[in-house]
Amino acid sequence: MSNQNSSWAAWVKKAHYSNKDFGDSLKKTSAIWKQISSYIALYRDLTSVNVGGGDTVSFWHDTWLTKGTLSSLFPALFSHALRLNISVRDCVNNGLWEIPLRYLTSARATCELHDLTLMLNGCHLSPDTSDLRIWRLDHSQPFSVRGVYQLTNFGGILDNASMAVWQSFAPKKCKFFAWLMIKGRIKVRTTLHLQGVIDSDACPFECGNSESVRHLATSCPRAIHIWQSLGLPFQAGCDVHDIFTSVKDLIPSAWLHVWDTVAVTILWNLWLGRNRKVFDNIRYTVPMVVQQCRDTLKLWTVRMTKMEKQAAQLLIESWPD
């Protein structure tokens, strides 16, 4: 309804609101329209409006003049409104503000009218400019149906590290593994020891420490040696979550487009090397793991666009043979 050029909006106004304000109750309407109209309040709560002509903006119920709606800011005055869903455009006559109100019966309503009049002074409409609806939570983004869907299905926790993993160019099984690693849910020896599966939680590479997720990824002397051999900015002992978030501040800008994929590559090969030691008692040397990281990233470049592929190739060439 915010798009005046929309054929659908024109049909709705003609079919349901030819002689009414948008939002007024209707005596006869379809079940589909009842469902759609039930979202009008949510639509207004999620958006604010940069007013142009004012045709699509509710004077009382949209956020356009202040940080809240005028109906909530001036409740006594709103109780005297004759047209509850009047548009901003219909409140202007020959350049002057004329708000349809019944006779004011309270001193509070009179005071609120005075305050509202002061707020409206200097506020002029631009008939040739369209009204622009934007997100109240992020004024840099225009309103979109996709944004509403994402917001209403948002679980309440935004995990940037997990998002980085899922947006990488790694295969799905490797993304899932890296996500489990961020969550601390892979079956390292500390977990298996707590579950009573094994008798010891010692690192299989005999460094003298317990094998936790953090130890496997960033604290084990072998893991630290591998990260350093790849010539990457690295914080020994950092959390896996930090590899996909705060460590990015240390990454050269030329590598940022592929960093998430590179990080998954290294974690995946650390895990494969660890499993060969645990299950087959085969110890991959650091140069062998570095070579595996090169081969893996080179294989995954087929999933990348031209820009990311070039960045990955430069990174691969910088790694020791």
User: Domain range holding 130?
Assistant: 7-152
Q: What is the mean pLDDT of the chain?
A: 87
243 and 99 assigned to the same domain: no
More confident residue, 288 or 14: 288
pTM (whole model) above 0.85:
no
Residue 174 lies in a domain: yes
Helices (H), strands (E): how many in the chain?
16, 4
Q: What is the pLDDT of residue 172?
A: 94
Q: What is the DSSP string of 206-237?
A: -SSSB--HHIIIIISHHHHHHHHHTT----TT
| The last residue of a domain, from among 152, 182, 210 | 152
Does the pLDDT of residue 118 top 80, yes or no? yes
End-to-end CA distance of the chain: 61
Q: What is the pLDDT of residue 298?
A: 94
Q: Which of 175-184, 231-240, 285-294 has the lowest mean pLDDT?
A: 231-240
Tokens of residue 142, six digits: 């225009």
188 and 256 assigned to the same domain: yes
Label each residue of 11-45 as H, E or C.
Answer: HHHHHHCCCCCCCCCCCCCCHHHHHHHCCHHHHHH
Q: What is the pLDDT of residue 282?
A: 95
Residue 2 lies in a domain: no
Structure confidence by residue, pLDDT tens digits, 41-95: 888 888 888 999 888 899 999 999 877 899 999 999 999 999 998 999 999 988 8
Q: What is the pLDDT of residue 291?
A: 94
51 and 166 assigned to the same domain: no
Bridge partners, 48 (sequence order):
63, 134
| The last residue of a domain, from among 121, 152, 183 | 152
Other CB atoms closer than 10 Å to residue 176's CB: what's the count? 13
Arithmetic mean of pLDDT, 211-215: 95
Residue 1 lies in a domain: no
Arithmetic mean of pLDDT, 216-234: 91
Q: What is the pLDDT of residue 28?
A: 67
Arithmetic mean of pLDDT, 137-155: 70
Arithmetic mean of pLDDT, 23-31: 67
Q: Helix 259-280 vs helix 172-183: angle between axes, to the nearest 10 degrees?
A: 80
More confident residue, 71 or 156: 71
Q: What is the pLDDT of residue 202?
A: 95
Q: What is the pLDDT of residue 131?
A: 87
Q: What is the pLDDT of residue 14?
A: 61
16 and 69 assigned to the same domain: yes
User: What total number of domains does the chain contain?
Assistant: 2
* Model confidence band, residue 310 (pLDDT cutoffs 50, 70, 90): very high
Q: Tokens 């469902």, residue?
A: 35
* Model confidence band, residue 7 (pLDDT cutoffs 50, 70, 90): low
